Structure formats: structure tokens, C-alpha cells
């Protein structure tokens, strides 16, 4: 079995098309205010989504209210809502009731040490996947920083894992072999500038990720 690839922070139609051509199976659209990847205009998000083909369309949110998420889901025809803030399991349950049937929830946790995984286990967030990203003070993600993958050794995974944090064409094969996640996720690792994707880097990322077979 091959790991699946998500490319996040897409802002241009040509980048969406290039990501799909490269073989990405999920595309991330950022609805968190601030930063070079933020999509403030839902019409722009709709345009980008329309170029996604059969790839999953993932909306990235952080501490947004249910109504705002619903609007984005409808406008961009999102398949997945990725919660990147301090959302609680109770909020996730309310959100799931409000979303159309079939829309997945992915919950993000930022980790840097084994103790961070205790929170993941304690919260037992009801979701289709857990995304683990590097904990960097003052940042929600997109920092280009990795975390120590060895903290995941022996950790029992209750959900499919999406591995993020500093993944590039140069290290993603090692990450897949070491962690054996269901998905790998990259944003800055395949960019030529913040928010601008590099088609060659996306192709190289997907090729490297898929070069490692996992069971």
C-alpha cells in the first residue's frame, strides 16, 4: 500500500491543476485569517475547488464558528473539514451535526514530545483522521519545521494518521518509512515562495512519498 498525499495551502488555479497532475489525492484550502495562503474570498475558493478534479477538497479552519465553516463547505464543496485550533470534542460533535452527510472531520494536534500525545488520547476527538504537526510557538502550522518522529514509536493510533510538519521531497520517503502514516501533508515544502507552489517540487514530493511501500 502507498501513502496518500495531501498538498495544502493552494492559492492559484494553476497550482491546483499541477497538484492534481502530480498525483495528490487531497488538496488543502486555508480559511484561517492571516498569512500568504489565506483564502478570504469564498468565490476564489469556489474557483480553486472547481479545478480539483477527483481529489479530496480539504478546508483548513482554526477556532471558526459553525456558520462560517458551513458557508465555506458549501462554497468550495469541501469533502473534509480540518480543525487546526483549540476545538473541543463537544464542538466537533456540534459541527458534525451541522455538516452535510459524508463530510469528514480531521483534527490537528501540534506535538513536540511524548507527553503531547497524552492530550490526543485524553480528548478522544471523534474524527476520521488525526493530523500531527510540529509544535512551534506562536504558529498554527505551515512553519516548515519537523518534529521528532520517534515520539510516535509504540503509540497506539485510534485513527488514520496524517503526518505534517516540514515535509519536503528530500525527507518525505524517510518519514513514510519511519512513521508509516496513512497520509503525508505538505505546504511550504513544495513552494517557490509563500503561497506559490512549485510544480516540479510537487511531482518530486509525490514520487518520493510513493516510493516507500507500507503495510
Containing 90, the helix (H) or strand (E) segment is: helix 89-98
pLDDT greater than 90 at residue 35:
no
pLDDT of residue 152: 95
pLDDT of residue 141: 55
pLDDT greater than 70 at residue 107:
yes
pLDDT greater than 80 at residue 144:
no
pLDDT of residue 148: 93
pLDDT of residue 142: 55
pLDDT greater than 80 at residue 137:
no
Share of the chain above pLDDT 70, in %: 96
**Higher-pLDDT residue of 139, 198:** 198
pLDDT greater than 80 at residue 139:
no
Q: Nearest Cα to 188, choosing from 141, 156, 153, 148?
A: 141
What are the two backbone dihedrals, phi and then psi, of residue 147, each rounded to the nearest 5 degrees?
-125, 170
pLDDT in tens, 48-89: 999 999 999 999 999 999 999 999 999 999 999 999 999 999
Task: Report, as residue numbers or ranges, the catalytic residues.
Answer: 8, 133
On the CB side of 126, how many CA atoms lie within 13 Å of its CA? Answer: 9
Residues 6+ apart with CB under 8 A from 182: 3, 4, 129, 160, 161, 162
Domains of the chain, first to last: 4-210 (3.20.20.70)
Q: Once rounded to an integer, what is the mean pLDDT over residues 110-119?
A: 92
Amino acid at each position: 500500500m502507498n501513502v496518500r498525499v495531501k498538498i495544502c495551502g493552494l492559492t492559484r488555479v494553476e497550482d491546483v491543476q499541477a497538484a492534481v497532475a502530480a498525483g495528490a489525492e487531497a488538496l488543502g484550502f486555508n480559511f484561517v485569517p492571516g498569512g500568504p495562503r489565506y483564502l478570504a474570498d469564498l468565490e476564489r475558493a469556489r474557483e480553486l475547488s472547481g479545478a480539483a478534479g477527483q481529489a479530496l477538497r480539504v478546508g483548513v479552519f482554526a477556532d471558526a464558528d459553525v456558520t462560517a465553516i458551513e458557508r465555506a463547505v458549501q462554497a468550495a464543496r469541501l469533502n473534509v473539514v480540518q480543525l487546526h485550533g483549540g476545538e473541543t470534542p463537544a464542538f466537533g460533535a456540534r459541527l458534525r451535526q451541522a455538516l452535510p452527510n459524508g463530510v469528514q472531520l480531521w483534527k490537528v494536534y501540534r506535538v513536540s514530545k511524548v507527553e503531547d500525545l497524552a492530550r490526543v488520547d485524553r480528548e478522544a476527538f471523534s474524527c476520521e483522521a488525526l493530523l500531527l504537526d510540529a509544535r512551534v510557538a506562536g504558529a498554527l502550522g505551515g512553519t516548515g519545521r519537523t518534529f521528532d518522529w520517534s515520539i510516535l514509536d509504540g503509540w497506539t493510533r485510534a485513527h488514520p494518521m496524517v503526518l505534517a510538519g516540514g515535509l519536503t521531497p528530500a525527507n518525505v520517503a524517510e518519514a513514510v518509512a519511519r512513521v508509516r502514516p496513512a497520509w503525508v501533508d505538505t505546504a511550504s515544502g513544495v513552494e517557490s515562495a509563500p503561497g506559490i507552489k512549485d510544480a516540479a517540487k510537487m511531482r518530486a514530493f509525490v514520487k518520493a512519498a510513493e516510493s516507500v511501500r507500507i503495510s
